[in-house]
Structure 1
């Protein structure tokens, strides 16, 4: 009876959420996708497919039964959960990349240019298909998809051209630490097999029979070439940083921006302007809608006889899709286009276009199409901002309408007119502050989790930059695109450049304010789950119980403070190591090697800069170094010794409790209690972190955190299950290394 009463209470809550049912379906669909990524092994497709069929079948059965209708919603939610899981499983099976197995220095590459991206110095080419070797494409060799940075391209290279070059290639990089961003996983779903660097690239003039052979290839070549031509035109008229920002805002290409400008945009909270998303698409579509409707309204005969509002909606949809093509159809762009399509579709059907259901259906469509986008910061922050804005303004609709009527009363005289205009300005300013506050608070948990950065002046920066973007940059960009085929786009591009220069000024000014950005230590996954749950309940809940969502944010804050910080970081190559000293600060073996890895480590511990061990050895007594890559000392009560060099040297197994020699094999006598991390461990573990608790060394590796998944770099070698436990089992491995020549004694 108690179970039945609980079901009845749950059913009553579900019925009370009737208007938000699509939102909860989207949430359950996302939970199914998240469950897939939480597994340590790859599941078979038939298993979630069977459960999905059982869930939907049960929902149909219970829905038709008068006595068991109370079970309809649990069965439906279970079916949707399994649908998300099955959809993600199928997406993985349908992705068939064949990543490079190892680094290939000086490899000869020939390939078809699928995309070009300008850089401050050089050009980045995406080659697909690409072949390795001089005549590999004539021998039926396996094609690859490669992304290569070229320092000095030769000739005018456009998408669709074939090029030859000699490049240093490497497979997509695995995470630099357990739990860090997995570029290799993203490359797996993007179909990217490797990256590389080349000094020069030569265009092949004779490419008969190797042009685009499908409609999609032809379309991609046309869109990418158009994007490149527009970017070249903008850079020719607007050289320097304003032109690079204009290219990012118009065609969605951020690679031309300088690192200093990118850092300023991120630190000031304006990085969302660089991603072609809801703000840009809605502004472009809105300009097309109101401009078309205004022009049609100039003809009274037509305006009185034709549905010009719906005609304007069709033109706005066309403008939104064209802008999405220029932006490269990234996840925020896809989400924005879907939402824009639903908005103007509602106008065509004479329905209300703005609601939480709009956000829900766009999320469902995108998750079914690209389910892997769920775990990316772009999807999470984009939908969080939109959901928060819709929920806040929906909840405050009546108070805002009442306030607007009071401050914008019809003027009775000149003084009243001035007060009315002032009231309109104040109301617009208040809504701008409210929008910035809602979006900033909604995206903060996801920004903390993915980037470990907290911007304190984001609201102020957005209040200055967003109006410039909406009233100056976007209108100028739309006018420039319309006039570009006629060669009359110069004045509009100059206005666009002024707006971009103003936005960059705002970004750099806010970045220079004291404590503009603060580094935050890594948030655990359960902290993000708690914050997301609380955020969804705040937006979708009903009544006073909605306040319970604040508990999720409280748990998020607690998770940051109680998350243990690793004492040692070791890179996958074994050439970079970091240790946390008694003062809690992270020191590194080198400030020149593996810059991206080092910056990731520092960001994950909430630190901006680091000193080298060689420098620390001169001022602190917990470490001493014979060479920059060979040090010893004591950390957390354990004696350590590490040697990052390749030259064989003796290792005293009794002189340290923790021995780290990642470039070589180490052989110690049986019964030795030291924890040994040598080359054989790295072959199957990748980058790892060590945490010392009560004298025991807890080891976490990238291989163990990923599991046996298709995108893992270590699945062919296998994952040592002992890596998941403390270091005792590792210390017991005393087998001789192959050859034994470079083993320590």
Structure 2
């Protein structure tokens, strides 16, 4: 009754104040604020029962705030955020109905910020701060292939000669170049073995341009403190002990499958069953990427869904056959428990990477809903899975795997939920429509994320998925399950042979579609606000109830406008100083045709420019001598590569930008970038407009946690340099 009288008084207060013109101007803003609060309360009241899916959104917003901060927040601030967030969550139960959701949202944002900061401190480990060459000892915990298609070892329990134990990284990653026979030998190593080799190590590299992908941050959360390469044989010091038995079983299964199915088919089968991609060639991987079929390699939601769906359905059918189990046993729950056990085994055998963990959590939540007699596929299940994963691995939110997986899942649940009961089709047509519709919805939902992270769009990706995904669901995954069951009996040869038919079809589709003209389109990398706006607009469209959901089109439209108007840097400088890229009317011109290949590749991809480094280097004007010169508006850019070229620079004027990968004396009034300054700034982007020239650096001051441990990164894909 008291609330009703209060609302009545506030609603009529404007009428009373209209009788007092002198008081009205000072009170009117308060009334507008009160009206806005009442409107927000009414809107939230209309969303009752549909607010839980917003919980991971606000938790993720807090995580995003932490990673976007320009400096590292003190630990006491993180503690205050965590305490304040927990306090708001506890206090929400005592607040009025209209204020409680706002308190919960604020509490989740503060908790997300605190969780991300706590995780960043929890994984802290030494990072190498200098270039190292010498003996490297460690225990093998991972075997894969680098982007330059050579074997790569990840080692822990590392020992480095002449480096104090407290400064030795927790993990290092070493690419193995040189003799192919030695490389093949390295691929036969088993996790848990202790090895030794001689190699070069450097600190993990930062972004190759400001605002780009930060490998140093990624390595920090993987506890990788150094990366490098070796050309020497890998010497086995100790056999595998009692640890990492699951990893050894996984690699043994991978080699068994490859022995049964040689070639790319066997490598593909091993990747599906164990997550081991070390035998897959770069040509096959590129064809899968260009046709938007690379997701079939990552053991994620599709594989977990197909596996658990097959096991669940098979157990249900088996339990329906005997009369006793059909009538007396809880068949659905027994099938759910069996499917959960199969998913757990798949998680262990596949290596348990972040994509597989995410898929397992989502499947476990949905099977748990079946056990609790709730709807398995609902936005609440998806939200709960997202909450669990964000609490365990907050940094996963920054990766394309997390973003694409939950974008596709949320869109599929919303679309199929909206269409439930809306169309009446013959039973035989429903699976076909479901397949076409799910492929189309998932492709549309993940397209912005894929284009933003990988700078390409597969024009025939939907066609390739429609042709390939049925073979994965009908042949590959069911036969993979049967092969695992028949392996102990030695009868898996025929099931693997049937599986190979489906995999050969998928690889054939990938190669055929990749050869079509115009398969891949290049996309300019978006600015920092584009993806958040896309996410905000999409979430409003999918999660908000009522006509207000259409307001989500506004941020979507704004994101598209910002993406179209993306401003690329007029000039880019690599952190090593060995490569410069200047934007011209024909595209970005590079100062060197070879060297810093990884940096050049990323720059051109972000520009949406094809042709490769040699074509881009041809756009740089020719000249005599060791100095490379080009004009940038009214400025002259001078690049010196090597100490001899740097020695030719005797001075500079204000209208010059001088870049060198060898130290330069401080002289003149121009802008100069040499290794000493680039060590402080990282990669540099220079923008030019009517107001003049402005510079943006990739390093922050004071540095974030992951920027404090190392310097002098080099991520070139050339065999003569470290390979990450």
TM over 0.5: yes
For 2:607, the equivalent position in structure 1 comes to 605
Higher relative contact order (CA 8 A, sep 6+): 2
Give the SS at the match of 2:39. Answer: helix
The alpha-carbon distance between structure 1 residues 22 and 486, as it changes in their structure 2 partners (threshold 3 A), is same
8 Å CA contact retained: 1:42, 1:709: yes
Give the SS at the match of 1:626. Answer: coil
Of the three residues 695, 702, 707, the one matched with 1:699 is 695
Give CA-to-partner distance per residue, 1:690-742, whole Å, 9 cap, x none.
222237222111114x861011158889xxxxxxxxxxxxxxxxxxxxxxxxx
For 2:557, the equivalent position in structure 1 comes to 554
Alignment gaps of 5+ in structure 1: 213-217, 409-423, 618-622, 718-745
Runs of 4+ in structure 1 off by over 6 angstroms are 118-121, 714-717
**Residue 187 (1) aligns with residue 208 (2):** no
Measure, in 2, the Cα distance between the counterparts of 1:95 and 1:646: 39
For 2:3, the equivalent position in structure 1 comes to none
**Residue 363 (1) aligns with residue 386 (2):** yes
8 Å CA contact retained: 2:591, 2:639: no
For 2:10, the equivalent position in structure 1 comes to none
Measure, in 1, the Cα distance between the counterparts of 2:84 and 2:683: 42
The alpha-carbon distance between structure 1 residues 8 and 381, as it changes in their structure 2 partners (threshold 3 A), is same
For 1:521, the equivalent position in structure 2 comes to 524
8 Å CA contact retained: 2:687, 2:694: yes
8 Å CA contact retained: 2:130, 2:711: no
Q: How does 1:264-413 map to 2 (within 5 A)?
A: 264-399=287-422, 402-404=423-425, 407-408=426-427
The alpha-carbon distance between structure 1 residues 534 and 321, as it changes in their structure 2 partners (threshold 3 A), is same
Measure, in 2, the Cα distance between the counterparts of 1:548 and 1:651: 60
For 2:577, the equivalent position in structure 1 comes to 574
How far is 1:656 from its partner? 4.9
Of the three residues 107, 123, 144, the one matched with 1:79 is 107
The alpha-carbon distance between structure 1 residues 202 and 530, as it changes in their structure 2 partners (threshold 3 A), is closer
**Residue 112 (1) aligns with residue 142 (2):** no
Measure, in 2, the Cα distance between the counterparts of 1:51 and 1:597: 38
The TM-score, its normalising length taken from structure 1, stands at 0.85
Measure, in 1, the Cα distance between the counterparts of 2:575 and 2:680: 10
How far is 1:595 from its partner? 1.5
How far is 1:378 from its partner? 0.9
How far is 1:232 from its partner? 0.6
For 1:469, the equivalent position in structure 2 comes to 472
Measure, in 1, the Cα distance between the counterparts of 2:505 and 2:710: 50
8 Å CA contact retained: 1:174, 1:713: no
Give the SS at the match of 2:693. Answer: strand
For 2:173, the equivalent position in structure 1 comes to 147
Moved more, 675-684 or 35-44: 675-684
Give the SS at the match of 1:19. Answer: coil
How far is 1:613 from its partner? 7.3
The alpha-carbon distance between structure 1 residues 590 and 496, as it changes in their structure 2 partners (threshold 3 A), is farther
The alpha-carbon distance between structure 1 residues 364 and 235, as it changes in their structure 2 partners (threshold 3 A), is same
8 Å CA contact retained: 1:11, 1:73: no
How far is 1:122 from its partner? 5.7
**Residue 90 (1) aligns with residue 118 (2):** yes
Of the three residues 128, 134, 146, the one matched with 1:100 is 128
Measure, in 2, the Cα distance between the counterparts of 1:60 and 1:115: 43
The alpha-carbon distance between structure 1 residues 566 and 494, as it changes in their structure 2 partners (threshold 3 A), is same
How far is 1:597 from its partner? 1.0
For 2:650, the equivalent position in structure 1 comes to 651
Measure, in 2, the Cα distance between the counterparts of 1:56 and 1:655: 55
Measure, in 1, the Cα distance between the counterparts of 2:451 and 2:271: 24
Give the SS at the match of 2:421. Answer: helix
**Residue 495 (1) aligns with residue 498 (2):** yes
Alignment gaps of 5+ in structure 2: 1-30, 713-724
Measure, in 2, the Cα distance between the counterparts of 1:128 and 1:18: 50
How far is 1:77 from its partner? 1.2
**Residue 159 (1) aligns with residue 191 (2):** yes
For 2:17, the equivalent position in structure 1 comes to none
For 1:25, the equivalent position in structure 2 comes to 55
For 1:625, the equivalent position in structure 2 comes to 623
For 2:74, the equivalent position in structure 1 comes to 44
Taking only aligned residues, the RMSD between alpha carbons, in angstroms, comes to 2.5
How far is 1:528 from its partner? 1.0
The count of aligned residue pairs is 672
For 1:451, the equivalent position in structure 2 comes to 454
How far is 1:224 from its partner? 0.9
For 1:262, the equivalent position in structure 2 comes to 285
Measure, in 1, the Cα distance between the counterparts of 2:197 and 2:661: 34
8 Å CA contact retained: 2:534, 2:556: yes
Give CA-to-partner distance per residue, 1:267-321, whole Å, 9 cap, x none.
1111211111111001111111121222233322233222122111111000011
Give CA-to-partner distance per residue, 1:176-210, whole Å, 9 cap, x none.
11111111111101111112222344444557xx9
The TM-score, its normalising length taken from structure 2, stands at 0.88
How far is 1:142 from its partner? 4.2
For 1:642, the equivalent position in structure 2 comes to 639
Moved more, 153-162 or 328-337: 153-162
8 Å CA contact retained: 1:111, 1:128: yes
Give CA-to-partner distance per residue, 1:494-536, whole Å, 9 cap, x none.
2222222211111122222222211111101111111110110
For 2:16, the equivalent position in structure 1 comes to none
The alpha-carbon distance between structure 1 residues 716 and 462, as it changes in their structure 2 partners (threshold 3 A), is closer
Give the SS at the match of 2:292. Answer: coil
For 1:591, the equivalent position in structure 2 comes to 593
Measure, in 2, the Cα distance between the counterparts of 1:658 and 1:160: 51
Measure, in 1, the Cα distance between the counterparts of 2:656 and 2:150: 48
Measure, in 2, the Cα distance between the counterparts of 1:127 and 1:4: 60
For 1:712, the equivalent position in structure 2 comes to 707
